[in-house]
């Protein structure tokens, strides 16, 4: 028996389907994603004025300049505020995008939120990428379903927090509530 148990194949071949989360050549463009690109569907975002944050593993030395979310089948309507932000493992605000105010967000389209200042990761771990809208119709997002944490030390894969959020991200993720629907985010 080996460190792989009774498995005798090439691990890279057997786990190749996981590479759908990345680009064909990851050395070309830096990016980190919280979900693979397969098995995704329409998931609801948070309600208007409520922030949705998703767990995103970042490595020491990564520099995050932007966060991209993809709308699902429902476009946003009467948008007045749209912001994205990056939070630390402990929920402290690290960087925020400018407010995209009433900029249209059509169905099935990616929207990239450039952070006001790039953030250089100094410690590998789980960070939180957040998105908040104020709108009459909040767009759905491309994402998946996640289970509630049950082991000590596990983080929520997605969570909601706050209310009445507009053009400025809260300084902390206060009183996060588990969210079953996990939006896809790509950090570049």
Supply 110's token pair: 């990616």
**Burial profile 15-27: b = 16 or more Cβ within 10 angstroms, e = fewer:** eeeeeebeeeeee
Q: What is the mean pLDDT of each run of 10 residues along the chain (188 residues)?
A: 63 50 59 90 95 96 96 95 97 98 96 97 96 95 94 92 95 96 96
pTM for this predicted structure = 0.86
**Euclidean distance between the first and the last CA atom of the chain, given in angstroms as a whole number:** 41
The predicted pLDDT at position 26 comes to 55
Provide the pLDDT for residue 18.
46
What pLDDT is stored for residue 38 in this prediction? 85
Look at residue 4 in the predicted model and tell me its pLDDT.
61
What single DSSP character describes residue 13? H
- The pLDDT of residue 162 is 95
Question: In 10 A of CB 111, how many CB atoms?
Answer: 20
Residue 134, φ and ψ in degrees, nearest 5: -125, 120
Q: What is the gyration radius of the CA atoms in the chain, in angstroms?
A: 17
Taking CA atoms, 112 is separated from 6, 69, 84, in Å, by 44, 7, 9
Q: Which residues face 119 on adjacent strands?
A: 64
**Domain 11-187 - what CATH class?**
mainly beta
């Amino acid at each position: 028996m080996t460190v792989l148990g009774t498995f005798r194949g090439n691990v890279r071949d057997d786990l190749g389907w996981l590479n759908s989360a990345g680009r064909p050549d990851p050395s070309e463009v830096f990016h980190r994603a919280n979900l693979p690109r397969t098995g995704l569907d329409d998931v609801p975002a948070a309600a208007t004025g409520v922030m949705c944050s998703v767990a995103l593993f970042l490595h020491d030395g990564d520099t995050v300049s932007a966060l991209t979310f993809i709308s699902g089948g429902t476009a946003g309507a009467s948008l007045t505020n749209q912001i994205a932000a990056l939070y630390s493992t402990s929920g402290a605000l690290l960087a925020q995008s400018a407010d995209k105010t009433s900029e249209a967000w059509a169905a099935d389209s990616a929207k990239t939120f450039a952070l006001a200042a790039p953030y250089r990761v100094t410690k590998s771990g789980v960070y939180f990428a957040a998105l908040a809208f104020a709108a009459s119709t909040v767009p759905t997002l491309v994402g998946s379903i996640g289970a509630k944490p049950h082991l000590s030390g596990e983080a929520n894969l997605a969570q909601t927090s706050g209310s009445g959020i507009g053009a400025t991200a809260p300084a902390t993720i206060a009183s996060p509530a588990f969210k079953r629907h996990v939006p896809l985010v790509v950090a570049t």
